[in-house]
Amino acid sequence: MEILHVTTSDGAAGAGRAAQRLHRGLRRLGYDSSMFVAKRHSDDPAVMAFEPPTSLSSRVVRYLRRLGMARSLTRFFWSGRSSNTTAFTDDRVEYKGTVTSQLPSCDVINLHWIARFVDYGCFFTQVSQSIPIVWTLHDMNPFTGGCHHTAGCEGYLDGCGNCPQLGSSTRNDASHRIWHRKRKSFDKLGTEQLQVVAPSQWLADKAAHSTLLGRFSVTRIPYGLDTDVFAPRDRHFAREVLDIPQDAQVVLFVA
């Protein structure tokens, strides 16, 4: 079975590292796993990087598309936007369908963090309906109108709009339009073609109750770790290496 992981990078950030660990774990189990990324950071021969066309015409088209997307956001963005906001990304990308056209052949596609890399409309139109898709969620973006964390907003349950992340008081704002385009993209998929995976029960519940992904099966699968590296060690030795007093009470905070 040929498994292809599609993600923005192969280790530069948290989602990329999680995807890379899954890819390497599958290879250790004997599966034919590979990665297709926007930016390659490792020397893994099973990782392939997207190659943007370099012709003058393609660069001009990308520039105009990038300009149009930016304007569609700045129509609502910044003027009323709070500084206490999260990342916000469009469902469209400047490369449009070029990314999908370079996808290596595979039996299963595992999507990860694809913001600013994969164009939803082109991808879900061009990928064969015979290829099953697993989407490992690393944040809320796949089922919102653009934000990567809603910060308590539940607009994604009803088409977004009036987006607090954009400082918008308009129903038909960029978040609503992005949400609507995502729905059209997901409507091209049969219920059985997409399997949604979340690393936490909290994120799994949010995806299952969302309007965009709620009709697909959602499963919680925690992130995989190399247990040869992440394993219990001798407590006294660990404290000695980390220069922690042997009798001290230690509290570790992780986010």
Query: Is 195 inside any structural domain?
Result: yes
The residue range of the domain holding 32 is: 2-228
Element (H, E) at 208: helix 201-209
Structure tokens at 88: 């916000």
Q: What confidence tens digit (pLDDT) does each residue in 184-203 have?
A: 999 999 999 999 999 999 99
Query: Is 51 inside any structural domain?
Result: yes
217 φ/ψ sector (left φ>0, alpha ψ -120 to 50, else beta): beta
Identify the CATH number of the domain in which residue 153 sits.
3.40.50
151 φ/ψ sector (left φ>0, alpha ψ -120 to 50, else beta): left
Q: What confidence tens digit (pLDDT) does each residue in 102-125 have?
A: 999 999 999 999 999 999 999 999
Dist CA 114 CA 94 (whole Å): 13
Query: Is 84 inside any structural domain?
Result: yes
Query: Is 211 inside any structural domain?
Result: yes
Sorted by sequence, the CB contacts under 8 Å of residue 104 that are 6+ apart come out as 4, 34, 36, 48
Q: What confidence tens digit (pLDDT) does each residue in 203-218 have?
A: 999 999 999 999 999 9
Sorted by sequence, the CB contacts under 8 Å of residue 36 that are 6+ apart come out as 4, 5, 6, 7, 48, 49, 50, 102, 103, 104
Query: Is 198 inside any structural domain?
Result: yes
Nearest Cα residue to 118 out of 138, 90, 137: 90
Query: Is 209 inside any structural domain?
Result: yes
Query: Is 251 inside any structural domain?
Result: no
Query: Is 238 inside any structural domain?
Result: no
Amino acid, res. 233: R
Predicted structure pTM score: 0.88
Question: How many distinct structural domains can be found in the chain?
Answer: 1
> For every one of its 255 residues, what pLDDT tens digit does the chain have, with 9 covering 90 and above?
999 999 999 877 889 999 999 999 999 999 999 999 999 998 899 999 999 988 998 889 888 888 888 877 766 554 555 555 678 999 999 988 899 999 999 999 999 999 999 999 999 999 988 999 999 999 999 999 999 999 999 999 999 999 998 888 889 899 999 999 999 999 999 999 999 999 999 999 999 999 999 999 999 999 988 888 888 989 999 999 999 999 999 998 987
CB 220 within 8 A of CB 204: yes
Dist CA 50 CA 180 (whole Å): 27
